Amino acid sequence: MASRSHRRPPSKRRSVLVSAVGVAAVGLLLSLVMVLRPDGEPDTVRSAAEPAGHQSSATATTPARKPEPKKPKPKPKPSKASPTPSATTPSKRPSPTSAPRSSPRPVSGTAPLAGRIQPQVTYKGVATHYDAADGDGACLYGPSPDLMVAAMNHTDYETSKACGAYILVRAANGASVTVRITNECPLPCAPGQLDLSKEAFAKLAGLSAGRIPVTWSLLSPDTSDTVSLRYKTGSSSHWCGIQALGHRNPLARLEVRTGSGWSRLTRTEYNYFLSPDGTGCGGPLRLTDIYGEQLTVEGIAVRPDVKQATRVQFARH
């Protein structure tokens, strides 16, 4: 048996029935009016019953409008703070400060054949002192009347490439001295370190200081001397060692002339250039400094342990 709360009173059901009949009658009347109109335009009647802007699906004669294609959204512009890298944009060059002080970058175009010691570069290091005796050393130049000499640390000595170089040394107190490299300071001498003769060190500070901070740079001094050449003990037409002395600028190459041109000799740690099979011994020689200047010398016979003067010298830089 149905619950009382779900039953409708009879009066309400009759009123609903009467309302439904009334609505149907009004709809029939409107249909007759639309059919009997001579102009056949039902839109006026429909518009009174339908909400504004709504389009009835019963209008078969009016084609539905195609939806307009959506315009593509513009691409966002790249942020100025982080631009897109271009393939033609060169990569950033490394900062010069990233280079270690013991091996500074070479000055472009000034000395294409220079090694670790470059012109126009100031090096930092320390200066110590030693008893240079007669001024001879690993470069095997022999005794020197001038004791303003120094031993270059092993790294910057660079297999005797520093031999004969003139170096201007400056102390923190403003004092300076010019020395010639005639010797090698073995490890633990650090890169940048100079071991000066006692005579040279005394120009900068008292010997009791023992070790002082310095800066130094390569010189191309004024001189009236010319280059000399010397053949090593035991040299002959079958084997020879050749040494250059008194050159203004550091020496980069020593070559001998052969039937096919100039042949470069290998440099030793004791500052001689060797021809192990005798090629070029006693013939024309060609010297090249770190700046690329070349000097040709002829008429130097194989005379071991004899210093033979030439008439040439490298230009000043």
The topology (CATH level 3) of 123-219 is Barwin-like endoglucanases (2.40.40)
Averaged over 191-217, what is the pLDDT?
98
Mean pLDDT of the chain: 77
Q: Supply the DSSP symbol for 52.
A: T
- pLDDT at residue 22, as a whole number: 53
Among 116, 208, 242, 92, smallest CA distance to 167 is for 116
**Which percentage of the chain shows pLDDT scores above 90?**
65
CA max distance for the chain:
149
Q: Supply the DSSP symbol for 304.
A: B
Residue spans per domain, the chain: 123-219, 228-309
Region 228-309: CATH code: 2.60.40.760
Is the pLDDT score of 36 beyond 50? Answer: no
Banded pLDDT at 266 (limits 50, 70, 90):
very high
Banded pLDDT at 110 (limits 50, 70, 90):
confident
For residues 189 and 67, which has the higher predicted lDDT (pLDDT)? 189
Indicate if 228-309 has the same CATH topology as 123-219: no
Averaged over 254-283, what is the pLDDT?
97
- pLDDT at residue 98, as a whole number: 28
Please tell me whether residue 286 adopts helix, strand or coil conformation.
Answer: strand
Is the pLDDT score of 27 beyond 90? Answer: no
Banded pLDDT at 269 (limits 50, 70, 90):
very high
| Residue 171: strand pairing partners | 214
Banded pLDDT at 197 (limits 50, 70, 90):
very high
CA 60, CA 38: separation in Å to the nearest integer? 19
Residue-wise pLDDT for 79-95, tens only, equals: 333 333 333 333 333 33
Find where tokens 């000034």 sit. 110
